[in-house]
Amino acid sequence: RKQYCRQKEKIMEVERIIAEHLGVDIERVTDDAHLMNDLGADSLDVVELVIEFETQFDIDIADEDAEGLVTVGAIKEYIKDYA
């Protein structure tokens, strides 16, 4: 139960970070939302978000992994698996 709550908090934090960084309403930050196509991120935003996730969740995201983190859902799964 406690583990589930921690995971839920991480997921909510991912959504908050993305919404805040990109200046979009949190309601638009859905699992299938594409950072660039749907939320208006550019390549610099994506790099900055990766750095922010690394800092916030105390993880290292390899460049190869970062290239695959293009949707909110993919980011959430990565954070759940590695943070």
Q: Supply the residues annotated as catalytic.
A: 42
- Torsion, CA 42, CA 79, CA 23, CA 16, rounded to 10: 180
Q: How far apart are CA 56 and CA 53, in angstroms?
A: 5
Helix (H, G, I), strand (E, B) or coil at 43: helix
d(CA 77, CA 83): 10
